[in-house]
Amino acid sequence: MNKQVIGNVRPSQLITAFGPGAIVDLHTLSIVVAGIDLWSKEQDLVIHETRLEKALNVKRFYSARPVESIFGAHGTIPAFIFPRYQLCPRCRTLSKLNEEYLRYDSKRKEIKCTHPDCGKDKDGNVINNIPKTTLPAPFIVACPAGHLDEFPWRRYVHRSESDCSARMRLFSRSEHGTVADLHVRCDCGRQRSMSYAFGDDKLEATGLCKGAQPWFGISENEGHKCSRNAELKTILRGASNAWFPVIQSALKIDLESTPLGIALSKIPIDTMDEIRTEEKITALLTLFPQLNEFSAKEILDYLQKKNGVLSPDDLDLRYPEWCALRRNPEETLPEDEFLLEGSSAGLFQKFISNVVIVRKLIEVRALVGFTRIDPISNFNLDFFEDVISPISQRKLDWLPAVEIKGEGIFIELNEDALSEWESRSVVRERTNDIYRIFIEMSFTENQKTERLNRKLFPREVLLHTFSHLLIRQLALDCGYSSSSIRERIYCSSDPKKRMAGVLIYTGSADSDGSLGGLADIGNSERFQKLVRDALKSALICSSDPLCANHTPDLQSSLNGATCHACSLVSETSCENFNLFLDRNFIVETLARQGMAYFDTKSYQELS
C-alpha cells in the first residue's frame, strides 16, 4: 500500500464521521477509510474502560495518533481511493482508475485526464494541452447490508452487462442541477438519463449487490457475496445516508465513587481482604452498621467487580453511572476524573429533585460498526447483527475509540411527581400511540422483534423532550453551539433500577477538554432561569397550531408536537435520532391540555 499522506481528519472524526467504510472527500480525491485490520496500534494510545470492554467483548480500545504528537509522524490511518471512476470536468470523460485515459500524479496527489481529445475544440484544435485534474464520479451504489460498490456505468448506459470498451461521458443538459438533467453517453451511441437510477426499476438499472467491501480492499471479483442478495441503491457520493456509525459509549467512573464503594472504603483493608463469601459478608454487616443499607450479594458483587469479574447485569452501562452521578458531591476531590458539585432546582424542586454540576467527566466512545441507507437504534445491538457492517475482516480483541473530556449538568426528576404524572390516562394513551406506530414502522421481522422488546414508557418521552429543550436553550445561554452539546438519558421503570434523569454535557477530544461555560449554568439561580426559558420556549412554536396538533402516524414520524422550530436538535446531540418527542408532555400547548408534567405556575413565578 502506498503510504503517501493525502489528507487529514481529527481523531474524534474517525469515530463519528469518517470511520472504516466511510467516504471522505478531499480536495480532488475521494477515499474510503480502511478497516481496522490495517490500522497501527501503539501502546501509548490504549484506552481502558472496564465496563465498556466487557459489554463489547474486547480487551482494550485504541485511539488514532494525532499527527502533531510525534515529529514527522504522518499517515497513521490507511485508506483506498474510492470511487475509482473519475470524471473529467473539461471533456466529461468517465473512466476508471488504472484503465485508459487516467494517470495518478503522486506529487500533486491528483488524478489527471489523458484522453487525446481533452483540451481540443470541436475541430480538433488544441486549446489547452495541460492535463485536467479529474473529480470523483458523483454516484455510487450501496445495499442495506452495508456493502458499497462503484456505480455500474457501463451496464447502466447499455441496459445490461456489456463488453463495449468505448469511451463514456457524463453530460448535464441544463443548469437546473437535477438528476434528470444528467445523461451518461457512450461513444458507441447508447445514452441514458440518470433519473432511471433512482426510479422504481432499480434492479434493472443497477443489478443485485455483489458484496463489495472496498474498505477491506476486497472487490466483487474475490469471492465475497451479499448474504441478502439485495437490490443496490444509487446514492450521491457524499450523501448523509452513505455511512451511519454504530457507537457505544460509557462514562469513566471508579467503583470507589459509588455509595457502596465509599462505605467500604472506611472498612480496614485487612478485613476486606478476608471477604470471599456471602456468609463472611453477613458477619461483616454485624460489625459495621454503616453497611446495613446494602445486601450481602451487593457487597460480594462489588468485590468481584473490583477484581474484573462482571456479571451479565453489570453490562448495563447506565445504572452505575446513574449511581455515581447521584453520590454526595462533597465526596469528590479536585484531582478526580469525575468531579461533582452540588446545586439546587430552586422553584422547580417540586418537579426536579436533584441538580448536580459535573465539573469534570470523561466519556469513552467506541465504534462498533456502521450501517448504510438507514440508521439503527443502539438499544439492543444483538438484534441488528445482520445489518451492522464490520469494521474488521476478522474478530479482533480491540476497537477504535476516543476519550472525550468535558463538563455537564445532571438533572434528576422528582420520582413522586413523575409517578403521579405517569398515572394519568391521557399520558399513557399518548405514549401507547407512539409505541404502536413505532412497531408498525418496522421494516423487517428482526426489527419488529427488537422493537417489541423495547418497551416505551412515558418518562422516556418526557426526559427526551426536556433534554432537547434544555440543549436548545443552553446553546443560547452558554456559548456552545447546539451541535456540540449532547444528551445522555437515564431512564428505567424497573423497580430495582428506577431512573429518571438526564445528563446534558459537552466535551472535546483534546487534553484540555471544555471551558466551563456549560457547567456554570448549573448554579442554582442560573439553572432556574435556564429551565424557565426552556419551558416558555415550548409553550408556543412558530409552526403552531400545526405543530401542537401533530400526532404520531405512519406517514410522518414517531413524534407528537415537535418540529425543527421548537424541539428538534442536531443528530450529533441526540441519542434517539430525534424520535420519541412531544412538548405536550412538558407544558400546556395550544392544542392539548392535561398532559404537561410542569404546571404553568412553576415557570411564571420567575420574572
Can you tell me the distance from the alpha carbon of 496 to that of 482, in angstroms, rounded to the nearest whole number? 34
Q: List the domain range (segments joined by +) for residue 585.
A: 337-367+379-385+402-604
Residue 444 dihedral angles phi and psi, to the nearest 5°: -135, 165
Kindly state whether residue 310 falls inside one of the protein's structural domains.
Answer: no
Kindly state whether residue 263 falls inside one of the protein's structural domains.
Answer: no
Can you tell me the distance from the alpha carbon of 558 to that of 40, in angstroms, rounded to the nearest whole number? 42
Where among 217, 245, 273 does a domain terminate?
A: 245
Kindly state whether residue 395 falls inside one of the protein's structural domains.
Answer: no
Q: Measured in Å, how far apart are the chain's first and last C-alpha atoms? A: 65
Strand partners, 250: 364
Kindly state whether residue 128 falls inside one of the protein's structural domains.
Answer: yes
Asked if 361 and 217 sit in the same domain, the reply is: no
Asked if 168 and 44 sit in the same domain, the reply is: yes
Q: What is the pLDDT of residue 306?
A: 63
Kindly state whether residue 269 falls inside one of the protein's structural domains.
Answer: no
Phi-psi region of 521 (alpha: psi -120 to 50; beta: other; left: phi over 0): alpha
Residue pair 186/176 in contact by the 8 Å Cβ criterion? no
Asked if 577 and 438 sit in the same domain, the reply is: yes
Kindly state whether residue 256 falls inside one of the protein's structural domains.
Answer: no
| Residue ranges, the chain, pLDDT below 50 | 69-72, 220-221
Output the nine-digit C-alpha cell for 535.
419551558
How many residues in total does the chain contain? 607
Can you tell me the distance from the alpha carbon of 384 to that of 377, in angstroms, rounded to the nearest whole number? 9
Nearest CA to 148 among 77, 228, 218? 218
Nearest CA to 138 among 103, 173, 180, 94? 94
Q: Using alpha carbons only, give the angle 236, 240, 245 rounded to the nearest 5 degrees.
A: 130
Q: What is the pLDDT of residue 202?
A: 72
Classify each residue of 301-331 as buried b or exposed e, where b means 16 or more C-beta atoms within 10 Å of its C-beta: bbbebeeeebeeebeebbbbbbbbbbbebee
Phi-psi region of 149 (alpha: psi -120 to 50; beta: other; left: phi over 0): beta
Asked if 240 and 346 sit in the same domain, the reply is: no
Where among 245, 269, 295 does a domain terminate?
A: 245
Output the nine-digit C-alpha cell for 334.
479536585
Output the nine-digit C-alpha cell for 554.
405512519
Residue 177 dihedral angles phi and psi, to the nearest 5°: 80, 15
Give 146's contacts (C-beta < 8 A, 6+ positions apart). 21, 370, 371, 372, 387, 388, 389
Give 341's contacts (C-beta < 8 A, 6+ positions apart). 329, 356, 357, 358, 359, 519, 522
Asked if 352 and 215 sit in the same domain, the reply is: no
Residue 3 burial (C-beta neighbours within 10 Å; 0-12, 13-18, 19+): exposed
Q: Using alpha carbons only, give the angle 501, 56, 239 rounded to the nearest 5 degrees.
A: 80
Q: What is the pLDDT of residue 71?
A: 45
Q: What is the pLDDT of residue 70?
A: 46
State pTM to two decimals. 0.84
Asked if 237 and 357 sit in the same domain, the reply is: no
Asked if 357 and 468 sit in the same domain, the reply is: yes
Asked if 212 and 343 sit in the same domain, the reply is: no
Residue pair 232/202 in contact by the 8 Å Cβ criterion? yes
Residue 95 dihedral angles phi and psi, to the nearest 5°: -140, 160
Asked if 596 and 472 sit in the same domain, the reply is: yes
Residue pair 534/473 in contact by the 8 Å Cβ criterion? yes
What is the total count of domains within the chain? 2
Kindly state whether residue 217 falls inside one of the protein's structural domains.
Answer: yes
Distances (CA, A) of 79 to 21, 110, 254, 357, 365: 9, 15, 37, 42, 22
Output the nine-digit C-alpha cell for 378.
443502539
Kindly state whether residue 421 falls inside one of the protein's structural domains.
Answer: yes
Can you tell me the distance from the alpha carbon of 98 to that of 271, in angstroms, rounded to the nearest whole number? 72
- Chain position carrying cell 463519528: 16
Q: What is the pLDDT of residue 316?
A: 80
CA dihedral defined by 400, 404, 408, 410, rounded to 10 degrees?
A: 30
Where among 214, 245, 276 does a domain terminate?
A: 245
Q: What is the pLDDT of residue 574?
A: 92
Residue pair 403/362 in contact by the 8 Å Cβ criterion? yes
Asked if 233 and 360 sit in the same domain, the reply is: no
Asked if 236 and 348 sit in the same domain, the reply is: no
The 8-class DSSP code of residue 192 comes to: E
Residue 569 dihedral angles phi and psi, to the nearest 5°: -130, 175
Contacts 24+ apart (CB under 8 A), 529-534: 529/606, 530/470, 530/473, 530/474, 530/477, 531/345, 531/348, 531/352, 531/470, 531/603, 532/603, 532/606, 533/473, 533/476, 533/477, 534/466, 534/469, 534/470, 534/472, 534/473
